Structure 1
Amino acid sequence: MPLGDPTIDPRLLPLLRDDLAAASYTVDGVEDFLGPLAAAALHREQAVPALRVARAALGGATETASGQTEASREPRAVLTALFLLGLEVTRADVDAALPTVGTDGATRLGLVVAAGTGPGDGVRALLDLRPYDAADATGPVSWWLASDLGELATGRRLAGDHVLGAGGASITLAQVTMRTPVGRVLDLGTGCGIQALHASRHAGAVVATDISRRALRFAEFNAALDQVHLDLREGSMLEPVAGELFDLVVSNPPFVITPRAAGTGTIPDYEYRDGGRAGDDLVRDLIQGVGDVLAPGGVAQLLGNWEHRRGEGWTERVGGWLDEAGLDGWVIQREVLDPAEYAETWIRDGGTTPEREPAEWAASYEAWLDDFATRDVEAVGFGIVTLRKPVAPSGTSLRRLEEHTGSVRQPLGGHLAASLAAHDWLEATDDAALAAARLTVAPDVSEERYLTPGAGDPNVVIIRQGDGLGRGIQASAGLAALVGASDGELSVGQLTAAIASLFEVPAGELAGELLPAVRGLVRDGFLTPAP
């Protein structure tokens, strides 16, 4: 069973917020306390170095004249030990670390449980409460987030209704979401509320939904603690917002592909990751259905898994979903796991390990492989899906499915928004207008030249993007010359004519080569229209 639920007390939450800030219980404060080695290990879900630091910091105490124990520990050390590492501290520790809220106030908020009323009595956390820093396309932000204690703190497998904090997928979605100011945002499957909190910074109103009542309770608590207003609704998928329209939908849905066949009852269901559907049906249905709640021009951004089935390319499979949706679509596959890797990842995610529970590990592993075999699944892709509802009656114009497994420059949301805007500009710009356009090279673009030793001219020229997806484009000599000369002074057509004269080739022939390449460079942000 879950350890606890947070309680919203309008009188205590401002005091808690002030106490946490005064204790330097921030991301930088915690990392400074732990030191680089322990902080880095904790990011890898390895607690031993951090436990050593925390236990050393909590090792000393003094006694008052009456013989009572008096805490002398640094507040951020107490809070890190209590809420991040699951260690027991004393009531005196908590009273000193949270001087205005105290142990009694933290108990009323559902954060801790105390063994007694004496200063030396033990106090344990019921929830994970941690600082959160991020940079999205709106800029940097700092909050505190409550969620359920994880396996690292409890040493136990997660409960089925476990409420996850800001995990890797949540952080990824927050960074890739476009932050253009909008009227209404829907956070579908809000969990602890992290996407909704981010959305509140650039939206007039934010609706957040979840099938889990406990998740909504955490989202409500976090919103109140971080002074954000959210419209929270309980229900499955799009049901709570049927008939409404939104300018932006964000979703980190429960996309994990989990065996559903008879005889797989040993695999626990986790509300935060399991949508109760077979295979990748949940992601398919969301892609095909989200257009119903998108306003014209509205955008949906979500994460998801999709199966690579024998004899069917993933672009064909997911592209078919986009066709059915009737939306503009851009899918970037960021990771591919084989069935065994996928099973291992998600069995471990729930807290089952081969060392601790070998029989259950093996049974779950078999169930996952059997399930994939029934659908001829050869691999599972993970990626970012960006959808847009067309404004024009002519319908969809964007259909882009690509794989990019390399590093990217986060936050990516601004780059994605700029690329969509470039796509729209190109759609309205025929070749004659493109030739007449003046373009400038983006400031993050560089050029790499590779030459055979002793050669006067390069064998290969790569135009490299430092921002966004970090693309590298192999350029012909003519294209490299055009990019290098694109400073907004001359039009594409004028530059093409000059380069053709220099290379002694027909200008029309060179234009036929360069204009399609220029379109690609504008679309991906290498070149931008001059003001």
Structure 2
Amino acid sequence: MTLLALPGVYAPQADTALLAEALYEEPLFPGARVLDVGTGTGALALVAARRGADVTAIDISRRAVLTARLNARLARLPVRVLRGDLLTPVVGGAYDLILSNPPYVPARTATAPRRGAARAWDAGYDGRLLVRRICGEAPPLLRPGGALLMVHSALSDPDASLRELRAEGLKAAVVARRFIPFGPVLRERRGWLDAQGLIEDDETTEELVVIRAERPE
């Protein structure tokens, strides 16, 4: 689908596409409650809404919230778009499916940017600043039989994500992988990533993974 993306809003890329493919594999029933965390343009929220789900989307960026609302209106799909910090706006809710394509790129700073385009990808020294929070905050919002689908880079330690989700009582596994060429951000950071031991000097591709974590019935 054609989507608007205001300046500074993360446009759908390979990670969005990989997560969308995993979403298509989910057996959503009409009216299933779906939450899209870090919605950006609203691409994933719209895929779920087209399948008849009751969709709520969240982003911390005002521009992303506006973009997602515009795209939902243009697509004539009912998506509720909230502004807030990850899952904070929906604490106490209950969902059948939670989607997330969070910032996950290892960065030279320990804290996330407060503004600017890099807020959509920079995620602390280990790339887990937001991923770690989702692993802890999403499980309590899942209904029995509900699932979390999250995409992030292999640079951000998928094994740690699996351990953290299993510690919350979920059944977790990597369900999709894809290698893609380094984009501009990773190309610019190659020297730093190599010095941190995150890549080899001759690496030119990044592995993306989709993790699926399900709350037992």
Q: TM-score range by the shorter chain?
A: 0.7 to 0.9
Partners of 1:216 and 1:308 in 2: CA distance? 26
Q: Report what 1:527 is aligned to.
A: none
1:213 offset after TM fit, Å? 0.6
Compare CA radii of gyration and give the structure with the larger one.
1
Q: Report what 2:215 is aligned to.
A: 389
Give yes or no for contact 2:35–2:95 (8 Å, CA) kept in 1: yes
Partners of 2:120 and 2:56 in 1: CA distance? 18
Gap runs ≥5 in structure 2: 201-205
Partners of 1:246 and 1:308 in 2: CA distance? 26
Partners of 1:248 and 1:299 in 2: CA distance? 5
- The alpha-carbon distance between structure 1 residues 176 and 319, as it changes in their structure 2 partners (threshold 3 A), is closer
Q: Report what 1:205 is aligned to.
A: 54
Partners of 2:101 and 2:107 in 1: CA distance? 16
Partners of 1:194 and 1:308 in 2: CA distance? 23
C-alpha distance after superposition, 1:134-176 (max 9, x if no partner): xxxxxxxxxx31114xxxxxxxxxxxx6113332221221121
Partners of 1:176 and 1:235 in 2: CA distance? 25
Partners of 2:101 and 2:156 in 1: CA distance? 20
TM-score with structure 1 setting the length: 0.35
Partner of 1:285, secondary structure, is helix
Partners of 2:110 and 2:96 in 1: CA distance? 38
C-alpha distance after superposition, 1:202-245 (max 9, x if no partner): 34421100011101111111111111121111111111111111
**What aligned pairs does 1:175-190 form with structure 2 within 5 A after superposition?**
175-177=21-23, 178-181=26-29, 182-190=31-39
Q: Report what 1:162 is aligned to.
A: 8
Partners of 2:21 and 2:56 in 1: CA distance? 19
The letter for the 1-side match of 2:95 is F
TM-score with structure 2 setting the length: 0.80
Partner of 2:54, secondary structure, is strand
Give yes or no for contact 1:332–1:383 (8 Å, CA) kept in 2: yes
Partner of 1:146, secondary structure, is coil
Partners of 1:336 and 1:226 in 2: CA distance? 31
Q: Report what 2:135 is aligned to.
A: 287
Task: Find 1:369's aligned residue among 186, 189, 194.
Answer: 194
Q: Report what 1:299 is aligned to.
A: 147
Partner of 1:206, secondary structure, is strand
- The alpha-carbon distance between structure 1 residues 322 and 173, as it changes in their structure 2 partners (threshold 3 A), is same
The letter for the 2-side match of 1:387 is A
**What aligned pairs does 1:63-462 form with structure 2 within 5 A after superposition?**
132=1, 144-148=2-6, 162-177=8-23, 178-181=26-29, 182-260=31-109, 270-275=118-123, 277-281=124-128, 282-307=130-155, 315=159, 317-332=160-175, 334-335=177-178, 345-346=182-183, 348-349=184-185, 361=188, 364-370=189-195, 372-373=196-197, 377=198, 381-391=207-217
Give yes or no for contact 1:333–1:381 (8 Å, CA) kept in 2: no
The letter for the 1-side match of 2:20 is A
Partners of 2:154 and 2:133 in 1: CA distance? 12
1:328 offset after TM fit, Å? 1.0
1:301 offset after TM fit, Å? 0.8
- The alpha-carbon distance between structure 1 residues 185 and 256, as it changes in their structure 2 partners (threshold 3 A), is same
Partners of 2:147 and 2:28 in 1: CA distance? 11
> Which structure has more RCO (C-alpha within 8 Å, separation ≥ 6)?
2
Partners of 2:145 and 2:176 in 1: CA distance? 24
Partners of 2:162 and 2:11 in 1: CA distance? 32
Partners of 2:156 and 2:84 in 1: CA distance? 30
- The alpha-carbon distance between structure 1 residues 259 and 332, as it changes in their structure 2 partners (threshold 3 A), is farther
Partner of 2:125, secondary structure, is coil
Partner of 1:164, secondary structure, is coil
Give yes or no for contact 2:126–2:156 (8 Å, CA) kept in 1: no
- How many equivalent residue pairs? 205
C-alpha distance after superposition, 1:45-89 (max 9, x if no partner): xxxxxxxxxxxxxxxxxxxxxxxxxxxxxxxxxxxxxxxxxxxxx
Give yes or no for contact 2:131–2:161 (8 Å, CA) kept in 1: no
Give yes or no for contact 2:18–2:176 (8 Å, CA) kept in 1: no
